Amino acid sequence: MTTKAPFGSAQAPRPVKVPVEDTRHGTTRTDEYAWMRADNWQEVFRDPARLAADIRAHLEEENAYQAQLMSDTAGLREALFSEMKGRIKEDDSSVPMKDGPYAYGSSYRMGGQQPRYFRKPAQGGNEEILLDGDHEAEGKPYFQLGGIDHSSDHKRLLWAYDDKGSEFYTLRVRDLATGAELADSIESTGGGGTWAADNNGFFYTLLDDNHRPSKVFFHQLGDDTANDRLIYEETDPGFFMSVGGTRRNDWIMISISDHETSEYRILNAADPLGTPLLVAAREAGIQYDLEEGGDIFFVLTNEGGARDFKIMTAPVSDPVRANWTELVPHQPGRLILSIMGFRDYLVRLERLDGLPRIVVHERATGEEHAIAFDEEAYSLGMAGSYEYDTDVLRFSYSSMTTPAQVFDYDMRTRQRTLLKTQEVPSGHDADAYVTRRLMATAPDGEAVPVSLLYRRDTPLDGTAPCLLYGYGSYGITIPASFNTNCLSLVDRGFVYAIAHVRGGKDKGYSWYDDGKRAHKQNTFRDFIAVAKHLVDEGYTSHDRIVAQGGSAGGMLMGAIANMAPEAFGAIVAEVPFVDVLNTMLDASLPLTPPEWPEWGNPIASEEDYRTIAAYSPYDNVGAFDYPPILALAGLTDPRVTYWEPAKWVARLRDTKSGDNPVLFKINMDSGHAGASGRFSRLEEIAYTYSFALKATGKADVKPAT
């Protein structure tokens, strides 16, 4: 395989090898780059300056190498950034959502990187800025706002921020009458909190040194944080935990779950010092979510074999599992994704035949009706409501050709009110583009959905380059939604494609089950099958396909690179989870125990060890003629630690055949989400797209107008 546009001949970094052996289940593996993992990695997450000098020197050498090979794309990156920025309404504002006497929303100022949060009188009046993200971010190389929650009496704001990229959030409380910060400040939280009924204190999760939300505390305003009361402690490191409230301000809900099992403990919001009530004890494989409903809870669950979920009700006076009553039965193939309760209605978001729809259930009569749309592929989401006693539901809609729209929907009259359509200041002619829904056949005969976007004048004779995106893990579905950024590729003749591979829930819960643990290889085979289908149908050619994925999707990129390097013209792996076996063998890492249900536990199970070892990208690097590869990472990433892609890149260079380059770009000031700030993020996307254009020989192509 040869590149269409030479990347140059700069000397790639060649880090030292320090072999470290590890023997498990009778098998010994050698990791020559284990030294790249800092011994003090927990400290580095909190303070990147603590990184060892030799590791920092290597990472900076990697950045210098990729900068040299990509130096000729500086003008292209500037053009791409300008185009993408031109499609953003710089002073954009959300549609305020009513909550009693006020309506709350967010907005940006011209040139601003961070959002501002505001409110205005619900009946009309002047806008009041409650929190200015640009002001809070001043002087910080990284800044990300977390959860923001106004008190039900509208007097205070509970807000969180992370200024390292490590997702250890600091909680603050602001007096909305004066704008002053109260003395209450709590570090190392999960990123949000929820108010008690009297608004004089709040609940929050505290992260331990391994970045796990292991404890829920209650903080009384004005009190020393040392006196915060422990409400609940989760001792199993394999479970995530969060705390939230209800719109009626009557319950505090502690949600505890891994990827296949869940448990709730609830507390009367008016009794913050009470003891949480266990609703239904965790049982392996049984999932349930609670939603408020006045004198009942709605329960979304898979218990009783309801693989695609059903809805039950439970009395708030005694909501234990024995008292659950079926309301909406299980229907195989109809996956219920989420529910939202109102005084007179229950609303559910579900996916049927691969497409989402919203169904409104009238509580008094049981009558139901659906909100659906007619395009081949689209994205639909419930934005919900701050209020419980209302007939109005807010939802959003978009497709790959239709800019995002926000509607208010009167559930009683069934009238839709269009509140906002996403503006594209530089212009957008939807008729110039085509969106399609294809089905590719996997090796085992399964039909894999593919969402496509391309210009109507793009020749479909195999000459078009293609960016093929995939994820395929945790049951996450990648929506076929409007994306102004990818238009910079599409306007240069690219076909933009999303492969809805197994591991997501695109075709129901079974689509997820068939792409995890022992069945994980289906995810990779599906993606390769999609690439082949696009070639067979004349949309592109193999040497013109740029594969892209991030996080667990980055693992997908590493796997398909080893399995079918000849099927792709280039590969972009963002914050890639590529050292799967070593990570799952280390129970001290932030996400390892909670991830065992998704990947398997190779410590306890030899079968799981063999399964992961068979596809783990780092462990399967070979002497293959890989296409050009770009890996991107963040130093303070607690989800995919920086050393995973660093090691992978080093081993790729040392092992591969051919002359195609492997580039590694690491942001030394950010974590899993990349650069903070909306324009800084666009610069990263422009870099990635310039790599895709360069790798496919299209760096000099001007966008169609």
pLDDT exceeds cutoff 60 at 338: yes
**Backbone phi, then psi, for 487, in 5-degree steps?**
-65, -25
Residues whose CB falls within 8 Å of the CB of residue 34, separated by 6 or more in sequence, listed in order: 18, 20, 582, 647
pLDDT exceeds cutoff 90 at 98: yes
pLDDT exceeds cutoff 70 at 359: yes
Give residue-wise pLDDT tens across range 258-305: 999 999 999 999 999 999 999 999 999 999 999 999 999 999 999 999
pLDDT exceeds cutoff 70 at 672: no
Average pLDDT over residues 635-661: 95
Q: Rounded CA gap, 695 and 701, in Å?
A: 13
| pTM score | 0.93
Average pLDDT over residues 116-142: 95
pLDDT exceeds cutoff 70 at 664: yes
Average pLDDT over residues 116-137: 96
pLDDT exceeds cutoff 70 at 562: yes
Q: Rounded CA gap, 581 and 110, in Å?
A: 46
Percent of the chain with pLDDT over 70: 98
Q: What's the confidence (pLDDT) of residue 589?
A: 87
Average pLDDT over residues 544-549: 98
Give residue-wise pLDDT tens across range 131-172: 999 999 999 988 999 999 999 999 999 999 999 888 999 999
Gyration radius of the chain's alpha carbons:
25
- Model confidence at 677, in pLDDT bands (50, 70, 90)? confident
- Could you say which of 58, 330, 533, 672 is catalytic? 672
**Backbone phi, then psi, for 609, in 5-degree steps?**
-60, -50
- Model confidence at 675, in pLDDT bands (50, 70, 90)? low
Q: Specify which residues 429 forms β-bridges with.
A: none
The two structure tokens encoding residue 82: 């300008």
Give the 3-state DSSP-derived string for 434-457, with helices as H, strands as E and coil as C.
EEEEEEEECCCCCEEEEEEEEECC
- CA 391 distance to own-chain centroid: 31
How much is the mean pLDDT over the chain?
95
pLDDT exceeds cutoff 70 at 2: no
Average pLDDT over residues 241-246: 96
- Could you say which of 637, 670, 676, 690 is catalytic? 637
Active site annotation includes 150: no
Give residue-wise pLDDT tens across range 294-305: 999 999 999 999
pLDDT exceeds cutoff 80 at 554: yes
Is residue 500 within 8 A of residue 450, CB to CB? The reply is: yes
Q: Give the type of residue at 194.
A: T
Element (H, E) at 398: strand 392-398
- Model confidence at 4, in pLDDT bands (50, 70, 90)? very low
- Could you say which of 551, 616, 670, 690 is catalytic? 551
The region of weakest confidence among 134-138, 265-269, 490-494, 639-643 is 639-643
Q: Is the dihedral of CA 582, 587, 588, 589 positive or negative?
A: positive
Active site annotation includes 551: yes
The region of weakest confidence among 66-70, 129-133, 383-387, 545-549 is 383-387
Active site annotation includes 672: yes
Residues whose CB falls within 8 Å of the CB of residue 679, separated by 6 or more in sequence, listed in order: 81, 85, 113
